[in-house]
Amino acid sequence: METLPSSRPGALSSRLVLHVGCGAAAPDKLPAHFFPAGEWREIRLDIDPDVAPDVLASITDMEAVADASVDAVWSSHNLEHLFPHEVPLALAEFRRVLKPGGFALMTMPDLQQIAKLVAEDRLMEAAYLSPMGPITPLDMLYGHGGSLAQGNVFMGHRGGFTARSLESALLTAGFPIVRVVRDDSFALWATAYMGGVTL
């Protein structure tokens, strides 16, 4: 499998994607939108120094990233780790670092779908399999139990979203165009576009 653009010395790239909450480096951490390799260069940002990010920072304070400096922000399962009052801070940071015409792509658990499993008394049953093993509604609500048991406090969940509440949060944050969809793995996917480019 081809390595990510950021790990290819001398690779030319016209667009930058800021991968917030990147975790440990791996060639499959970016979604298909950011391939083929070479068209995008990944900048890794994380609060955990153990994953050796390019930028050590919280998504609520990304001061080390310049205003209007990246074409995209990719956020996989980060916003649910924030308290609800912190979410506007993170979304404001996403907007701040994006260039005009850029976009933020994010995914997170869908509380509405998870609530259906809880209502069916399936809190501890595996809902799906992930690379980390079986994932239960309890994991999706409060954070991956195995990781938390090993002392990874960054995996705890403090909030969450339904499709409607996520769309509302993004619009309130000032993104003029927002699209939120559900997938079959109990997740929401949102794309929030910046204005500033006339097509």
| Predicted pLDDT at 132 | 84
| Predicted pLDDT at 5 | 35
What are the residue ranges spanned by the domains of the chain?
A: 5-109+159-193
The closest of 31, 37, 43, 32 to 12, measured between CA atoms, is 37
| Predicted pLDDT at 2 | 26
Cα separation, 93 vs 72, whole angstroms: 12
| Predicted pLDDT at 11 | 46
Query: Which stretches of the chain score pLDDT less than 50?
Result: 1-12, 198-199
| Predicted pLDDT at 6 | 39
| Predicted pLDDT at 185 | 84
Q: For domain 5-109+159-193, say whether CATH 3.40.50.150 is its number.
A: yes
State pLDDT tens for residues 18-45: 999 998 888 788 998 888 667 899 999 9
| Predicted pLDDT at 91 | 98
Helix or strand holding residue 190 (H, E) = strand 187-193
Contact 41, 94 (CB under 8 A): no
Cβ within 8 Å of residue 160, ≥6 positions away = 80, 108, 109, 111, 141
Cα separation, 188 vs 192, whole angstroms: 13
19: β partners: 44, 74
Cα separation, 79 vs 87, whole angstroms: 7
pTM listed for this prediction = 0.86
45: β partners: 20, 55
| Predicted pLDDT at 39 | 86
